[in-house]
Amino acid sequence: MSVPAAFVGRTEELAALRDVVGLRPGSAAAVVVTGDPGSGKTRLLAEALAGVEGRRLLHVRGHETEAPVALAAAAPLLRELGALPEAGLAPFEPIQAFERAYRALASGGPAAIVVDDLQWVDDSSFALCQYLIRGAAEAAHDLAVVAASRPSPRVATFMHAVEDALPGRVRLLELADQPLQVAMARLEEDAQRLAGNAGDQFGVG
């Protein structure tokens, strides 16, 4: 049986993300992580959210090819909240989806909106995130917001909108290149994980 390797590096950023996810009841805060492709943004989010209990994780995932499709990125969040329209119903306005999602969010317990590849999130999903964050802030709902993005003008737009809803409770983390020794440790860690997975697959060890 393989043992998950410890997370290497990014300890300060990981602590900042976990601080937001571990909010006290009745509060809301956000952290946005930016970095170049391959800097470990997605893995950092996954590590921060691993083992989270007592908080619904609502995912928004941007995809470059789906950026023109309304609410494509927010589809996982809408499914998790049960806010998608039933099959066969006539098309409805985005505001209906927004309200449905907000009511489902407000009626539940603590939640976290997790946005990955923010730079490719379609405009409607982007607006939905802002709508939910503003609503949660006004209602003092327990909401954590963690987002990751490549450097993009969209980051500044998102930061401005979230800071407007959550003044003083938003943090931007910019991932710089890591030292060579950390990069080497990560390569060794990945090699060990692959070897462990191979051993599990073929009954070795």
Residue pLDDT, tens place only, 62-83:
999 999 998 999 999 999 998 7
Q: What is the pLDDT at residue 25?
A: 67
Q: What is the pTM of this model?
A: 0.77
The span from the CA of 120 to the CA of 41, in Å, is: 15
For tokens 């060794």, the residue is 188
Burial of residue 146 (CB within 10 Å: 0-12, 13-18, 19+) is buried
Q: What is the pLDDT at residue 144?
A: 92
- Tell me the per-residue pLDDT of 97-107, one tens digit each, with 9 for 90 and over: 899 899 999 99
Binned at pLDDT 50, 70 and 90, residue 197 comes out as: low
CA nearest 132: which of 120, 149, 114? 114
